[in-house]
Structure 1
Amino acid sequence: MDWTYRIVDHGQHFALHEVCLDESGRPEEWVARAIDFAVDRDCGPDGLIASLEEALAAARSSPLLVLREGRLEPA
């Protein structure tokens, strides 16, 4: 299982979420609360920027997911 960032269509809005994909690449688990970015103080601003860049790269390269009846599905 791999955790990644994905854009989710909630119907009224889009949000970025952490999503765990199964071996076939389908969403298996997800964090229902949209992601916010914070890092420990020892990571500093560079750590925060690295997290943002990782999320942006994943969002750009991954297909949109749609929330339907509490489950994530490919668009």
Structure 2
Amino acid sequence: AWRAAGQPAWTGPERRGQAYAGTDRQCRGALLAVLRDAPGPLPRARVLAAWRADAEQAERALASLIADRLVRLDCAGDLTL
């Protein structure tokens, strides 16, 4: 139908992307930044302290980073990239 109509330009409302501030994506980025800037492995509490806005969100983000294998948990319980 769109092609048959001559491919008219969209006239509906503008689509807005998801805000970044406060998202799990931003939280994951903050946790990764701490680990990236560290000279070596960090204790879990130090990594989680990078996101003080919501402790549950930080825990969830860290768990997802570990599951995605972007963060490694060593035998001492410390975290590293």
Asked if TM exceeds 0.5, the reply is: no
Decide which structure has greater strand share: 1
Question: Which has more radius of gyration?
Answer: 2
Between structures 1 and 2, the one with greater helix share: 2
TM-score normalised according to structure 1 size: 0.35
